[in-house]
């Protein structure tokens, strides 16, 4: 299994958020992670990336234990995070972002390959990231993650605030990642995007994964979606 999580507990100073998460994700699998606001989705992906400390439990990538390791060690082990709200470096250019990211792990993804996939970024190569539109910043955040040639990609609401055309491009990038054997965990509110790219759907509630089924099965069961998410 590319990513295996067992009994993962984590949280912030005064509050435990994750209450023992178990999660397996295979190479080339895409799992959509849904859940109400505050369910703990971002806390899960940030814990997996080493940005929220692990209280207890195990996280392995290709069999290597990563729980309790530093974020940079986890990144070098092949875990890439596209955080909620993008977080690009506003005073670096697009080209500088890509050059930095491509230093980490060599593999199939190159700067040229990424720019072919996201031509808008090629046009903006010399521009400061802080001057990009929201959609362009999101593309840059995705490009930066891919250039580290990850085994596992954690995308936290990549479609947030984006025009449909850009959401389509992100969907195409996720599909390409899947065909390259990357394990993708996609936190998403946009159900159209989630259903379009994910093999399976998982739902988080109160810091636990309470439901996980193939996407087609989830779509056939609106009652469960309504009960867990409050949507039809
Ligand atoms: N930096 C923080 N310090 C303290 N508590 C936090 C922090 N970040 C999140 N929390 C709390 O942890 C819980 C889970 O938040 P989290 O951001 O993981 O939820 P989420 O499922 O990503 O929600 P959303 O759909 O709104 O993005 C919430 O109760 C939140 O208030
Ligand atoms: Mg969140």
83 neighbors 153 (Cβ within 8 angstroms): no
If you take atom 18 of ligand 1, which residue's CA is the nearest one?
40
Give the ligand with the smallest distance to the CA of 40.
1
Q: Ligand 1: distance of its center to the CA of 38 in Å? A: 5
pLDDT score of 160: 86
**In this structure, what token pair is assigned to residue 20?**
């023992």
pLDDT score of 231: 67
Q: Which atom of ligand 1 is nearest to the CA of 52?
A: 1
List pocket residues of ligand 1, CB cut-off 6 Å: 12, 15, 17, 35, 37-43, 84
pLDDT score of 230: 83
If you take atom 24 of ligand 1, which residue's CA is the nearest one?
37
pLDDT score of 14: 80
Give the ligand with the smallest distance to the CA of 17.
1
Q: Which spans in the chain are helix H?
A: 41-48, 71-76, 94-101, 111-117, 119-123, 134-147, 164-179, 191-197, 215-219, 222-229
Give the ligand with the smallest distance to the CA of 204.
1
Tell me whether strands 30-35 and 200-205 are parallel, antiparallel or unpaired: parallel
Per-residue pLDDT of the chain (232 residues; tens, 9 = 90+): 999 999 999 999 888 999 999 999 999 999 999 999 999 999 999 999 999 999 999 999 999 999 999 999 999 999 999 998 878 898 999 999 999 888 877 788 899 989 988 889 999 999 999 999 888 898 999 999 999 999 999 999 999 888 888 899 899 999 999 999 999 999 998 999 999 999 999 999 999 999 999 999 999 999 999 999 986 5
pLDDT score of 103: 82
87 neighbors 141 (Cβ within 8 angstroms): yes
Q: Which atom of ligand 1 is nearest to the CA of 84?
A: 27
Question: Is residue 201 within a helix (H) or strand (E), and if so which, with residue range?
Answer: strand 200-205
If you take atom 9 of ligand 1, which residue's CA is the nearest one?
43
**Residue 173, CA distances (Å) to 73, 120, 144, 182, 192 in order:** 25, 14, 12, 11, 15
Which residues have C-beta under 5 Å from ligand 2, the single-atom ion?
Answer: 41-42, 84
Q: Ligand 1: distance of its center to the CA of 120 in Å? A: 32
If you take atom 6 of ligand 1, which residue's CA is the nearest one?
12
pLDDT score of 64: 97
Q: Domains of the chain (ranges plus CATH)?
A: 3-229 (3.40.50.300)
pLDDT score of 232: 52
Q: Ligand 1: distance of its center to the CA of 69 in Å? A: 22
Q: Which residues contact 58 (CB under 8 A, 6 or more apart)?
A: 4, 5, 6, 7, 8, 65, 67
């Amino acid at each position: 299994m590319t990513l295996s999580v067992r009994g993962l507990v984590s949280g912030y100073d005064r509050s435990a958020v994750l209450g023992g998460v178990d999660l397996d994700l295979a190479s080339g699998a895409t799992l959509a992670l849904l859940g109400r606001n505050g369910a703990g989705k971002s806390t899960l992906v940030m814990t997996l990336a080493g940005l929220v400390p692990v209280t207890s439990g195990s996280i392995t990538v290709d069999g290597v234990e990563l729980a309790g390791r530093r974020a940079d060690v986890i990144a070098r082990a092949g875990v890439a995070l596209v955080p909620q709200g993008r977080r690009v470096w506003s005073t670096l250019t697009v080209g500088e972002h890509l050059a930095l990211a491509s230093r980490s792990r060599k593999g199939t993804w190159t700067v040229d390959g990424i720019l072919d996939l996201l031509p808008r970024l090629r046009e903006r190569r010399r521009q400061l990231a802080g001057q990009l539109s929201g959609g362009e910043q999101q593309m840059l955040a995705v490009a930066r993650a891919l250039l580290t040639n990850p085994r596992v990609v954690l995308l936290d609401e990549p479609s947030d605030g984006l025009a449909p055309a850009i959401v389509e491009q992100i969907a195409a990038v996720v599909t390409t990642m899947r065909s390259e054997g990357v394990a993708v965990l996609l936190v998403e509110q946009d159900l159209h995007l989630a259903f379009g790219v994910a093999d399976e759907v998982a739902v988080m509630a109160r810091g636990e994964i309470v439901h996980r089924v193939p996407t087609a099965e989830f779509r056939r069961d609106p009652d469960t979606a309504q009960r867990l998410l409050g949507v039809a």
